[in-house]
Amino acid sequence: MDETILRERTRGDCYRFLSACFCQPRKNAFQEEKLLQNLTKSLHRICPEAALFSASMEESILKYGNEELLVEYSRLFIGPFGVIAPPYGSVYLDGERRVMGDSTMEVIGMYRNEGLSGFSDARELPDHVAVELEFMSYLVFAEIKALETSDLRTAVETVAKQEKFSAEFLRRWIPLFCERIKENTENGFYSALAQCASTFIGSSRPADLRDVAGEETRIASQ
């Protein structure tokens, strides 16, 4: 059980760290909080192939100042002369290159089912890449909370929610989004971030709690 919780905590951290990387860049904060170092350390434990790219992020960010990072972030994700890599799921999932589409409403529904609301006051739309990655982190830590209290039923239900959200949203659009970034930037940090995110999203899976349940049953029967 302890090993499973440690693995899942590390996986949840990866979602949280990647979410921060897709927010408006603050180089000093990245360095002071050791965000990139912690991302690489976590990925080494559960997704070594993605850790290669986060290590490249650590190296490349040293080459850029805050203004350079912000300019490239704005060019890729904001505009003003057309958005090169829109960071919103509905653009890729709804087939009409528009925000707040049907898929966004589905995402909002999943948030509300978890008791999360208030996006009218949020800085980003509900299907922004950073928001969706943060939500996955939230689900992983809800699973961990259930495991820590030996509530396996809730843990299994939460894992099912993670699998649904990843299969229906993250794994369907984030690789396409990351491909846009890679094709349209010469900035080493954002190119490596795109590779890191797409690799991690493609390989990240929840723990198989059937093994945990079996071990718990075995111990209880002794």
Q: How confident is the model at residue 117 (pLDDT cuts 50, 70, 90)?
A: confident
Is the pLDDT at 145 greater than 90, yes or no? yes
pLDDT digits (tens, 9 = 90+) for 30-79: 887 899 999 999 999 999 999 999 999 999 999 999 999 999 999 999 98
Residues across the chain: 222
- How many whole angstroms separate alpha carbon 210 and alpha carbon 70? 45
Instruction: Report which DSSP code applies to 85.
Output: S
Q: How confident is the model at residue 222 (pLDDT cuts 50, 70, 90)?
A: very low
Q: Does domain 2-221 have CATH number 1.10.1740.10?
A: no
pLDDT score at 221: 44
- How many whole angstroms separate alpha carbon 211 and alpha carbon 218? 11
Q: How confident is the model at residue 27 (pLDDT cuts 50, 70, 90)?
A: confident
Q: How confident is the model at residue 215 (pLDDT cuts 50, 70, 90)?
A: low
pLDDT score at 99: 78
CA distances from 7 to 11, 13, 15, 22, 205 (A): 6, 10, 13, 23, 11
Interval 85-101 mean pLDDT: 87
Residue 173, φ and ψ in degrees, nearest 5: -120, -30
pLDDT digits (tens, 9 = 90+) for 181-198: 999 999 999 999 999 999
- How many whole angstroms separate alpha carbon 153 and alpha carbon 157? 6
pLDDT score at 85: 96
Rg (CA), the chain: 18
Report pTM: 0.91
User: Of 74, 75, 71, 38, which is closest to residue 57 (Cα–Cα)?
Assistant: 38
pLDDT score at 82: 84
pLDDT score at 122: 58
**Taking the CA of residue 137 as centre, how many other CA atoms within 13 Å lie in the half-sphere pointing to its CB?**
16
For the chain, domain boundaries: 2-221
Instruction: Give the three-class secondary structure for 77.
Output: helix
Helices (H) and strands (E) counted in the chain, each on its own, are 12, 0
Structure tokens at 63: 């080459």
* pLDDT, mean over the chain: 90
pLDDT score at 219: 40
